[in-house]
Structure 1
Amino acid sequence: MSNSKVSMKLLIDTKGKRVLFAEAGKDCVDFLFHILSLPVATIIGLLKAQGMVGSLPNLYKSLETLNDTYILPDQKKDTYLKPLPPISSSSVPLLALTDDQLQKKFYRCSHCVGYVSDDPRAACPACRKLFTTALTYVAPPAVEVASEEGGLVKGVVTYMVMDDLMIKPMSTISSIAMLNKFNVKEVGALEEKVVTLGMNEAVKLLKTSLQSKKVLTDVFF
């Protein structure tokens, strides 16, 4: 997993004991939107240690523990347990909820050249030896676009992240409108707090987003 970190600035109503909203930059917003691209199996794999409600973890464990004897020869369990996100490597944000094992892996015969497989159990068609030599996959260069920032959103904007993870561009007017919406009367009760999202916080945020509409409050307050 990535060890990168991103941060956001929370505006906390200490009297109401809640996070009103957060100010976030491009890196943080790219990460939050990246959650939408995660396959279900990846989410289950990430949250197993955190505990999950429902029956999907049992479905995951059933396949994980199923003996390979029952799997068709041309199929692999990891195709379902560790699917690759449907996005290019150039779009993965600074903090990505992915596992190193999800990277593409290829193998070749240690004796012959010209044959490659993504399954180390495959046999070389020339000498019939297994493809045991691992190769390092090198992704192609990203397609040139107008922006070289990478990710999804533009970096010249500050974004407002609501407690329920609604996200929109931030402005002075929108901030005042939010204070009116939450009926904040005492400005002195407001407190700013900068929080950092490492992998542990990111996984907690992912889990809480599946269970609560007060995600920032539940995770950081």
Structure 2
Amino acid sequence: MAKSSEKHKFTLRIIVDEEKNKVVLAEACRDFVDVLFSLLTLPMGTIVRLLENHQKSDPVTLGCFNNLYKSVVDMGSDDFETEACKQMLLYPRSVRDVQCKRLKININPTEDIKCFKCPSYCQLYSNFNTSECHCGNVMNNEIPLENKEQVAGKDDANGVFVSGRYSFILTDDLKVAVKSTELVLNKLKSLGCADVSKLGEMLLDIGLEEVLTLLGCIFSSNTPLTDTFLNKQNPQAVTRIYKSLSPCREKKEDETEPEKVVTLKAIVRKQDMKILFVECGEDFVELLFSFLAVPLESVWEISGSKISLGCIGNLCRSFKDLSATEGTEIPTFIGMLPSFYSFQMQLPGIITQQPPVYYRYRLYSGQVSYGLTTDGNRNPYFRKDRLVKVVLMDPKSHGRDKSTHCYGFLKKETKFTVFDDLTITSMNSCSTVSLLKKLQSHADDLEVQVISISSSQALNLLRASLVTSSALSTALWNLIAKKLKEETDLWNPVSKKVKEEI
């Protein structure tokens, strides 16, 4: 953890209803609001890792995401295409990493992107020192990167996500707005706290630990400020609502590309139609793993109003409203994953950034003189005909494939078992009989249903993964019910006769 983040503190003024021991309002500086909004930019896998490390004895449980992340941890390296694939999922990057380096408290400091090449004269480069060149060598020779991406808005008048030198008002449910006397009066009246003689004030020092506690509370509480700063514990009451509705993304008429569909074998318990587990290929598991790479702001955006999860919605709406009303120029990265985070099957509305373009300057001898640069015009005295564009290899590909872009993190033609709580294991790791014993299931009570999942239907699975501990049964029950009805109609003579008459 960066030392600056460990030592830096914010002063937060909270207005407290002393009779109810409840935060009414909080007054915060711009830097604190920047840190608050930065939580929305974190990939879901990063949030799971940070919260588990923050409170190891009793970590905050985010639906099925903890099991999903642990499955990556427990999975052997042989199941992945390359060694880098597992690291990319355990430590997913954000397209806003560069912006977050300017935060006064950055709870997820990341290293600068590095570049490595083969020790021979091959012209392939990679961002990972474990990548294998097509000649068979490991690409572990680090090449200096010059003219690294500059952080926009270094003027002190601008923050990272909000501009100006304003103070801000925060409600207990994390609605954020620019401070004004009119706003404070209206908030006090609407909250039934017009009698200010009953209100107290507290000045709090907010550091790294408090921000991490607040991160856990925004998922599970409607009053995260009270729970973080007054109760000083992670709340046990969880506010989570799931609506199993059709995906919020509609198919456009001009979209001709067919949707990606995967087929699963669902093992269903007859008495309650609960999905105990599914048997599937690597494409469905990659869809689940892609959830870990999606930032929180994108999860909320593509899920629309289909989930209610703590105060995430209020924070996201405040982020958008402040950007619009204050004219803050914030790059739009909703639904965007960093370079090379391309999966065999991805959620609709999620795209992957193009990899950066690097150049090297070639001397007469053919050697590199000034390392790599992202700027082809870095020096007016350089001859443009000696600037050579560098080939950056996809860390998911093998060097022998000479591929600069590929889809998929897991080895092809691999079979997996995915449990209802999204714990994932390789099918060759245990026998079917042992599995049924573990689930305390009788063979006569089970049946196998073959179902198909499209990329747009996978949105229901994402939502269920956030708010329940039984994501498969919650999100896919309608497919099981539909399949059962079709089979019932097929074998019901009366139903069959009616259909023939029609």
Global fold match (TM > 0.5): yes
**Aligned residue runs from structure 1 range 104-183, under 5 A:** 104-109=113-118, 115-124=124-133, 128-134=136-142, 139-143=148-152, 149-183=158-192
Q: Give TM-score scaled by structure 2 length.
A: 0.40
Moved more, 57-66 or 74-83: 74-83
Residue by residue, what CA displacement relative to the aligned partner does 1:78-107 show, whole Å, maximum 9, x if unpaired?
222211112151355222231446x42333
- Residues 179, 73 of structure 1: CA spacing in aligned structure 2 closer, same or farther, 3 A cutoff? closer
C-alpha displacement of 1:19 = 0.6
1:70 aligns with 2:79: yes
- Residues 173, 143 of structure 1: CA spacing in aligned structure 2 closer, same or farther, 3 A cutoff? closer
CA distance in 1, matches of 2:35, 2:17: 25
**Does the CA-based 8 Å contact 2:153-2:160 persist in structure 1?**
no
Q: Which amino acid aligns with 2:36?
A: L
Q: Which runs of 5+ in 2 are unaligned?
A: 231-502
- Residues 105, 80 of structure 1: CA spacing in aligned structure 2 closer, same or farther, 3 A cutoff? same
Aligned to 1:96: 106
Q: Which amino acid aligns with 1:65?
A: D
Q: Which amino acid aligns with 2:98?
A: S
CA distance in 2, matches of 1:45, 1:12: 32
- Residues 72, 124 of structure 1: CA spacing in aligned structure 2 closer, same or farther, 3 A cutoff? closer
Q: Secondary structure at the match of 1:164?
A: coil
CA distance in 1, matches of 2:24, 2:179: 13
- Residues 204, 125 of structure 1: CA spacing in aligned structure 2 closer, same or farther, 3 A cutoff? same
Moved more, 47-56 or 132-141: 132-141
Residue by residue, what CA displacement relative to the aligned partner does 1:59-80 show, whole Å, maximum 9, x if unpaired?
1011112110111138611222
1:15 aligns with 2:23: no
Larger Rg: 2
1:204 aligns with 2:213: yes
**Does the CA-based 8 Å contact 2:34-2:159 persist in structure 1?**
no
1:44 aligns with 2:48: yes
Which of structures 1 and 2 has the larger relative contact order (alpha carbons within 8 angstroms, sep 6+)?
1
Q: Secondary structure at the match of 1:119?
A: coil
C-alpha displacement of 1:151 = 0.5
- Residues 35, 116 of structure 1: CA spacing in aligned structure 2 closer, same or farther, 3 A cutoff? same
Q: Which runs of 5+ in 1 are unaligned?
A: none
Aligned to 2:29: 25
CA distance in 2, matches of 1:89, 1:80: 19
Q: What is the alpha-carbon root mean square deviation over aligned residues?
A: 2.7
Q: Secondary structure at the match of 1:21?
A: strand
Aligned to 2:381: none
- Residues 137, 94 of structure 1: CA spacing in aligned structure 2 closer, same or farther, 3 A cutoff? farther
Residue by residue, what CA displacement relative to the aligned partner does 1:131-161 show, whole Å, maximum 9, x if unpaired?
2344565632235699862401123211101
Q: Which amino acid aligns with 1:116?
A: Y
Residue identity (%): 25
CA distance in 2, matches of 1:87, 1:121: 25
* Paired residue total: 219
Q: Give TM-score scaled by structure 1 length.
A: 0.85
- Residues 25, 113 of structure 1: CA spacing in aligned structure 2 closer, same or farther, 3 A cutoff? farther
